[in-house]
Amino acid sequence: MKKLLVLLLMLATSLHFAGVEALEVYLPDFEMSFPFEGQRVVEPEDDVPFGHMRPEMYGIPAAEEKNSASHLLTEETETSTPVYHIDSGKPGPAIYIVAGTHGDERAGWYAASLLEQIALDAGSLSILPQANRLGCEEIRRHVIGSLDLNRSYPGEEGGDPAQNLAHAIYDDITRMQPVLVLDLHEAAYYAEDSDFLGNKIIFTNLDGIEELFFSLLESAEKESLGKYPFGFVSPGVAGSLNSTAAKGAGIPVLTVETFRGFPISQRVEDQIDIVLHCLRFYGMID
């Protein structure tokens, strides 16, 4: 995998956040500097509150009434979380969107929540907006303690809460047999010795989605995919939905990672742009 060359510019002016020293770090991917505390970017204040975000603001063709949840995963446990199944009633592919696996990666689950109201022209869409609902409610990465849902696939029924949840999600996806899973995440960390995941699309296997992938690549090259550049990284990490569904069930997964140094409204817009690109590619929306 290509190791990114990144320059660290420690500017003479260091910023101070809540008594912790933040340093400006220059990221060549974006040709911009961002305040970092150690290896973690400092998120800017929200420019648009979640409660003010509407589907129309992000180009989502919205139904007049909100779609309602179709079923619950891990019902009757503390991790229970709703799935929205939106069926156009017309022939077409099935796509599954997972978001909120890491609750502090808010743009992914904000985007998925706005997509609950989408009106489709063809095919069907399943949306799991808050895979890790407890984490989303507390704005934290883990399910409980240090349990990471995205290292728990394919999961285990009756295992620890993350394994049990991973099993329910994996089971729901494999029953649906979607042509594509979109897993919406965000990235906050940069270190010289690891791949930078800000504004990336991660894939493990492209079997069956080659043409979609090339259309995403083409849009990224034309800089018409999101406001800031998106790159592509492979493979997904072991135990992730990306890696497990691709290898274990032959279901291709694209993991979207927006960079948490950008304003929240931009990150939500970029997440939605990529989802809408995929839905448009399959003729599910105009």
Find the residue with minimal CB distance to Zn ion: 185
CB under 5 A: which stretch of 105-113, 158-166, 239-247, 266-274 binds Zn ion? Answer: 105-113
Task: For residue 153, count other CB atoms closer than 10 A to its CB.
Answer: 23
Min CB(204)–Zn ion separation in Å: 15
Min CB(185)–Zn ion separation in Å: 3
Min CB(149)–Zn ion separation in Å: 9
Nearest to 251 by CA among 222, 196, 209: 209
Please report which helix (H) or strand (E) contains residue 136, including its range. Answer: helix 133-138
255 CB-side CA count, 13 A: 27
Does 133 interact with Zn ion (rule: CB under 5 A)? no
Does 260 interact with Zn ion (rule: CB under 5 A)? no
Please report which helix (H) or strand (E) contains residue 241, including its range. Answer: helix 241-249
Min CB(102)–Zn ion separation in Å: 4
- Residue with smaller CB distance to Zn ion, 85 or 185: 185
Q: Cα 213 vs. chain centroid, distance in angstroms?
A: 17
Task: Report the distance separating Cα 187 and Cα 37, nearest Å.
Answer: 14
- Residue with smaller CB distance to Zn ion, 105 or 269: 105
Q: For the window 202-231, what string marks contact with Zn ion as x by the rule CB under 5 A?
A: ------------------------------
Min CB(258)–Zn ion separation in Å: 10
DSSP E strand stretches across the chain:
15-17, 20-27, 32-37, 40-41, 71-73, 81-87, 94-99, 124-128, 180-187, 200-203, 231-233, 253-259
Task: Report the distance separating Cα 242 and Cα 209, nearest Å.
Answer: 14
3-state secondary structure of 214: helix
Whole-number Cα distances in Å, 158 to 77, 107, 132, 200, 233: 11, 30, 17, 34, 33
Does 102 interact with Zn ion (rule: CB under 5 A)? yes
Min CB(48)–Zn ion separation in Å: 22
- Residue with smaller CB distance to Zn ion, 124 or 258: 258
Task: Report the residue from 167, 185, 260, 267 that binds Zn ion according to the rule CB under 5 A.
Answer: 185
CB under 5 A: which stretch of 49-57, 99-107, 216-224, 277-285 binds Zn ion? Answer: 99-107
- Residue with smaller CB distance to Zn ion, 240 or 265: 240
Does 106 interact with Zn ion (rule: CB under 5 A)? no
- Residue with smaller CB distance to Zn ion, 259 or 281: 259
Which tokens belong to 153? 């696939």
- Residue with smaller CB distance to Zn ion, 140 or 247: 140
Q: Which residues bind Zn ion (CB under 5 A)?
A: 102, 105, 185
